[in-house]
Homo-oligomer: A and B are copies of this chain.
């Protein structure tokens, strides 16, 4: 299986250099020759939306995704409507920034009833679609690792994300494949093939052994057990040739100087992805 030869598809998901402001992340990416960036909404808000757009465009960067919309389930209809409003703001921001996709982290259940929470996710996406379409923004359902089912996402497998996405037009709703969340799944390659041209994003990191922390324990590519190259090739065989985001939540990496993180990330990207 061939290796990646250059950085044309490499994207810095901003969480990987969480201490950097959006401007710093943009400038760091330019210094490192990384052509794509995936900003987070909190960082965009800090910098201001118009300024964020200007930084990114002036630097000549492309936006692989905006992180994130979602969090649809809530206990009351009023709260769910408020969540939907926030998603509409996320769509507007994604459109303003020219993001390829708005990533949806679908949210946990408001109570023990996970089945109803999953219905709320479906309803939320359905209601968001017309607004997203109107703004030219594609939605990408990102299944999260099952260990986050209670706190971040009731959508936990690629199969489940595919089933949900297939209820809608593929122009409107696709899926995002993040190796950290899906690598363990016995149905992974079947579901990647099934996702086909609904794949809207591909995120890499690694699964460390032992896991240092439930949330902040993701590893740099090559430091763990995920078959990165195999999964990347499967995603390509399914039809995805878009940007590859490096998205790492890890305190040790956050504590490193950003430029060193980007240098290491580039090296590992060529070697392991």
Which A residues fall within an 8 A CB radius of B? Answer: 109, 111-114, 118, 145-147, 149-151, 156-157, 159-160, 183-186, 207, 209-211, 214, 224-227
CB closest chain-B residue, reference A111: B225
CB closest chain-B residue, reference A147: B147
CB pair A114–B150 under 8 Å, yes or no, is no
Since A146-B147, A147-B214, A149-B184 are in contact, a sample of 18 more A-B pairs with Cβ atoms closer than 8 Å, ordered by chain A residue number, is: A109-B225, A111-B225, A112-B225, A112-B226, A112-B227, A114-B183, A114-B225, A146-B146, A146-B185, A149-B183, A150-B209, A150-B224, A150-B225, A151-B209, A156-B184, A156-B185, A157-B185, A157-B186
Question: Within 8 Å CB of A151, what residues of B?
Answer: 209-211
CB pair A211–B209 under 8 Å, yes or no, is no
Question: Within 8 Å CB of A185, what residues of B?
Answer: 146, 156-157
Integer count of this chain's copies in the complex: 2
What is the CA–CA distance of A210 and B113 in the complex, to the nearest angstrom? 17
CB pair A147–B211 under 8 Å, yes or no, is yes
Known A186-B160, A227-B112: A147·B150 in contact at CB below 8 Å: no
CB closest chain-B residue, reference A146: B184
Question: Within 8 Å CB of A118, what residues of B?
Answer: 186
Task: Quote the shortest CB–CB distance from A130 to chain B (angstroms).
Answer: 26
CB pair A211–B210 under 8 Å, yes or no, is no
Question: Within 8 Å CB of A156, what residues of B?
Answer: 184-186
Task: Quote the shortest CB–CB distance from A142 to chain B (angstroms).
Answer: 15
CB closest chain-B residue, reference A208: B150
CB pair B112–A150 under 8 Å, yes or no, is no
Known A157-B186, A160-B186: A150·B207 in contact at CB below 8 Å: yes
CB-defined A-B contacts under 8 Å, sample of 20: A109-B225, A111-B225, A112-B227, A113-B227, A114-B225, A114-B227, A118-B186, A145-B146, A147-B147, A147-B211, A149-B183, A149-B207, A150-B184, A150-B207, A150-B209, A151-B211, A156-B186, A157-B186, A160-B186, A214-B214
What is the CA–CA distance of A147 and B157 in the complex, to the nearest angstrom? 13
